[in-house]
Amino acid sequence: VAILWSASDPVWNECDAELWDNQLIYLALLHKQIPVDFVDEFAVENGALANYKVVVLSARYLRKATLMALAQWVRNGGNLWADGLTGTGDEYGQKTADFLPVLGIKDVIITDSTLKRSFNPQNGVYKEIIPGTFIWKTTGEEIQCIGRKISFSISDPENVKVLAMYPDGKIAAIEHRYGKGRVFYIGTYAGLCYNIPVVREPGRIETNYRETERKLVTDFVLQSGVSRPVASSIDCVQADILESDAGTGIVLANYTGTKQEKITLTIRAGKRPSKVTSVECGDLKFSWDETKKAVVVSLPLDICDIILVR
């Protein structure tokens, strides 16, 4: 997965919503063990997206050349996840509607929050930054919009599937078939939504991230065929993988808020290892899945641990 980073977005944006939205999108992906790279605009223009199945985009302002390259990548079969005011401004801070047909939307109407302050997650979530709610069609779950509520109409009805609605009957989220590719778009800051229930205490890892908000980010990504080098049986476990000639290290961080008596990790490997070791638990019993070419190992997890596969 590539998160597209814009150099001009921090320059022209009148608030820091996209900045923190991006950070929380990143966390949502990590909490589902989805590997992420940050890719800049010039890399996109030079064809770097050929190495990725999914691009995540929340930046409002981007180079027009980048938007054109991204549109072509989607037409050729790429999968784009987008939220907020994605791609509605150029590198000079000017409004542009050129990217809206890729998203599959038109007639955009913005409802801002009433509280004009930083959206730093450390500040929490207050009613003043909640301009509305939306309802997910398949589950009936009602989820709060954070920062902005963006209403729109569909520009390409034959190729759009409606995923969520606002209570007033307007559309909140869609999946758009664009050329050979697919686009997910949601009319709020989905990353900021992930911060809604989070509990933060000084000196402790934050907890209470929920699947309800996380799947706004992760469902489309996983449905696009992204392969995870490490997969955990428990959600909200971060698993960063470090590979070398001497073996593989996996750094685990538990964001569930409670000690897990047993989590099972499926770790991709080129060959069956001779040893799997935990810093906290010592040598671990493991099995080898020949079909998946993966190590399967179980262990308890309190706050953090490091697994070595050799």
pTM: 0.94
Q: Where are any strands of DSSP class E within the chain? A: 2-5, 37-40, 54-57, 79-83, 105-112, 132-136, 142-145, 148-154, 160-165, 171-178, 181-186, 230-232, 237-244, 247-254, 260-268, 276-278, 282-283, 286-289, 294-301, 304-309
Phi-psi region of 12 (alpha: psi -120 to 50; beta: other; left: phi over 0): alpha
Cβ atoms within 10 Å of 5's Cβ, excluding its own: 18
Distance CA 288, CA 183 (A): 37
Tokens at 115, concatenated:
């509280």
Question: Domains in the chain, start-ordered, CATH in brackets?
Answer: 2-223 (3.40.50.880), 230-309 (2.60.220.10)
pLDDT in tens, the chain (310 residues): 999 999 999 999 988 999 999 999 999 999 999 999 999 999 999 999 999 999 999 999 999 999 999 999 999 999 999 999 999 999 999 999 999 999 999 999 999 888 766 888 988 888 889 999 999 999 999 999 999 999 999 999 999 999 999 999 999 999 999 999 999 999 999 999 999 999 988 888 899 999 999 999 999 999 999 999 999 999 999 999 999 988 999 999 999 989 999 999 999 998 999 999 999 999 999 999 999 999 999 999 999 999 999 9
Q: What is the pLDDT of residue 39?
A: 98
Q: Are strands 37-40 and 105-112 parallel, antiparallel or unpaired?
A: unpaired
205-221 pLDDT tens trace: 899 999 999 999 999 99
Amino acid identity for residue 249 in this structure: G
Packing angle, helices 17-30 and 211-223, rounded to 10: 70
- pLDDT > 90 in the chain, percent: 89
DSSP string of 241-309?
EEEETTEEEEEEEE-SSS-EEEEEEEEE-SS--S-EEETTTEE--EEEETTTTEEEEEEEESSEEEEEE
> Which residue, 273, 240, 221, is CA-closest to 31?
240
